[in-house]
Each structure stands twice: as C-alpha cells, then as structure tokens.
Chains A and B, each alone.
Chain A
C-alpha cells in the first residue's frame, strides 16, 4: 500500500468532480414551471379528469386513449361525471390547450422528458401553417 497518497488524491479529485454540480448549484433550485391555461381551458374549468389526476397521470390516460382508439376502434371516453370526449390528442386535448409551448413544453422541459407525440400528431389544430 505504497500508493496511499496517490489513491487518496485520486479519490478526492473524483469526489470534487462528481460533487461539483451540486456545490455549484447549491440553493439555486430551478423554480417549478408555471403552466399557462388558454382562455378556453380556463372557461372549461375542468379537464377530462381532475387537475391532480391529469397532472400526475395524463401519460397513462393518453396511453389508454391511444390503445382504445387505434387497436379497439373505440373513440369515445365517458369520464366519471358522465361527460363524453372524443379520444384525440390533436382534436380534443390540444383544442383547449392550444398553447403547447406554454402548457406542455414547460413541464416536459423541466422534467427533461421528450415525448415524441408531436412528430406525428399536429401540435395545434388552430394554428395556421
């Protein structure tokens, strides 16, 4: 164990590099994003499900929607309040939330998730190309 000094220096340098980002960003947590609702979404007040549910589980909901529409050809979703929705990302979700940049992207960027829904589904049904 003649290399003790070398090993300790190596470990210290390793720890410094690994811990640098934590030290550098200490106390400066990025603020959670604030999503903006369009006037239409505000007026509707309630989404397909409760806000808490949508916030946490919208991906599961969309997954079920996708499978029901594409693979079972069932296109209507009746929520617990008995309200009917056409299960469509572009035509239902983005009809209200027509501000993808301020609504979807802000959270997705913050959470560093990159859903590829929009490589096929059109971002904003109302936007003119």
Chain B
C-alpha cells in the first residue's frame, strides 16, 4: 500500500499523544489537590492592610550615625542581612548617607549647615512607578497590588542586576558571595539569600502579615512613621500635611513613598 508509511507515522503520533497526555494531566491534577476544593488558602487575621504603604522619616530627630545604628541593626538582624566589609560586596537594606548623596541636584546651593551635617536614613522607596519592576525580565520583582510594596521573589531572581541599574536610589544589593558566613546572628524565622540574587528592603512584609509595623519604625522612638499614603487619616498623611517634606529625586517621576521632614 502506497500510504502505509504515512499511516504508520500517523499511528505513532497518535499513540505518543495517548501515552503522554495522561502523565501531564495527572501532574496538573496533583497541583489541584494541594489547592483543591476542600483546602482554603487565605491571609492571616492580623494582617495590616493599606492601598500604598509609606514612610515618613523625621530627620530632625536623628542627629548622628550612632542614632541610626539601632534602626539599621534591627532591620539587618531580623532579615539576616550579611555584613560584608568589602564595599563592592556590601549588602544594604537600610543605611545612613550624606545629604548630598541622598538628595543630589541643584535645588539647594547653600543650605542650613545643621541639615547638611545630618545623616539621612535611606532605604527602598517602594515607588509607585518603580523602574526596577519594568527592568526585571523574570518578574522576580513586582509591585504588590494589595499594599504597594515593591517585593522580591528570591526564588525567581536570576541575578541579572537590571533592577540595580534601573533603581535611581541604589536601594538594591547583589549577593556576589554566599552571604551565610557573613551573617552575624541568624534569625531562624527568616530565610537567608544565596549567591547570585538581588535583595533589598521589603517594608517588613513578613511583619505586616502578622500585624506588626516595620522593625525600623518600631525601634525609632518616634523618628519614623509608617502608614497608608491613601488614608487621609493615617499617621503619615497627618505628618505630611503638617510638615514640609521632601522626597528623593522627585523629578524622576518614580513617586517614592518615603518622605523626609527636614
């Protein structure tokens, strides 16, 4: 028969399909079982909610590097941030910097000496229009719909560092080395990172999920305030309304959510 070769190929194709469909469907079914109808996956009862979390830093209350130290310490300890002495390998979630580094530009040529001397606490601004998110090729970083936090999925980060190039605030650090040997005290409740991923401040999402405010705010003795930017009655909005505040590199249009009272 002339068509026998074609017929055999057709049969082979159909049987291959028949043999492989089942395992594929089974695999999907198993995932269904983990989430299936008799299982509920939900948020905790104590979770703090906001449309967009924001922070107000009263720089008048933080006079020296030594006063920033407990805040940085609190953050870096609970998040297992390693302390690498080599500046090129440094990992920072929250740190202090000089006025001219925090607020570059020509807005103020001559400024109050006292302000110029102050250390400025800087961190990820959780921008409303985050350039890092647009740069990420794997969606390892994204803006959470439910509370506006710019979050990181370390499982998905491939370490391309596009986000670091995109961030105008230098808020992201890359793990050039395995961070574990450089973590002074390990917090067993929070994971570490591995070599080859980018990390940054997460606005203490893991604490917000159990009803706690961010660690730096908690230990700041009132110098830092945290709340919903879109709730007119929130503490941050009250501070923004009653004080003159500035944001870092506002002209870039990323809409940072960290406000500074100067």
Interface string of B174-216 (1 = CB under 8 A from A): 0000000000001011011110000000000100010000000
Q: B42: CB under 8 A from chain A?
A: yes
* Min CB–CB distance A64 → chain B (angstroms): 4
Q: A75: CB under 8 A from chain B?
A: yes
Chain B residues, Cβ within 8 Å of A61 = 34
A120 touches B42 (CB 8 A): no
A122 touches B146 (CB 8 A): no
With both beta carbons as reference points, the residue of chain A lying nearest to B196 in the complex is identified as A119
The contact size tier of chain B is: 20 to 34
A60 touches B31 (CB 8 A): yes
Partner of A73, one of B30, B144, B155: B144
Interface string of A94-123 (1 = CB under 8 A from B): 000000000000000000000010011110
Q: A47: CB under 8 A from chain B?
A: no
Chain A residues, Cβ within 8 Å of B44 = 75-76, 86
Q: B153: CB under 8 A from chain A?
A: yes
Contacts A90-B188, A120-B193 given; does A60 touch B33 at CB 8 Å: yes
* Min CB–CB distance B192 → chain A (angstroms): 5
Bound: A63/B193 CA distance, A: 18
Q: CB within 8 Å of B: which of A75-96?
A: 75-80, 86-87, 90-91
Bound: A64/B35 CA distance, A: 7
Q: CB within 8 Å of B: which of A41-79?
A: 53, 57, 60-61, 63-64, 66, 68, 70-79
Q: A125: CB under 8 A from chain B?
A: yes
Interface string of B17-45 (1 = CB under 8 A from A): 00000000000001101110011111110
Partner of A91, one of B38, B155, B189: B189
Contacts A57-B30, A71-B153, A90-B191 given; does A79 touch B41 at CB 8 Å: no
Bound: A71/B149 CA distance, A: 12
Q: B169: CB under 8 A from chain A?
A: no
A63 touches B31 (CB 8 A): yes
Partner of B40, one of A78, A116, A121: A78
Partner of B30, one of A60, A86, A119: A60
Chain A residues, Cβ within 8 Å of B155 = 66, 70
Bound: A41/B147 CA distance, A: 36
Bound: A90/B40 CA distance, A: 21
Q: CB within 8 Å of A: which of B152-166?
A: 153-155
Interface centre among A87, A91, A122 (most CB of B within 10 A): A122
A selection of 11 A-B contacts at a CB cut-off of 8 Å is: A60-B31, A64-B41, A70-B155, A73-B43, A75-B44, A75-B209, A76-B44, A77-B41, A79-B39, A119-B194, A126-B188
* A-binding residues in B (CB < 8 A): 30-31, 33-35, 38-44, 144, 146-147, 151, 153-155, 186, 188-189, 191-194, 205, 209
Beyond A53-B33, A75-B44, 6 extra complex contacts between A and B, CB < 8 Å: A64-B34, A68-B41, A74-B41, A76-B42, A90-B188, A120-B193
* B-binding residues in A (CB < 8 A): 53, 57, 60-61, 63-64, 66, 68, 70-80, 86-87, 90-91, 116, 119-122, 124-127, 129
The 7 A-B pairs of least Cβ separation, nearest first, read: A78-B40, A80-B38, A125-B188, A64-B34, A119-B194, A120-B191, A61-B34
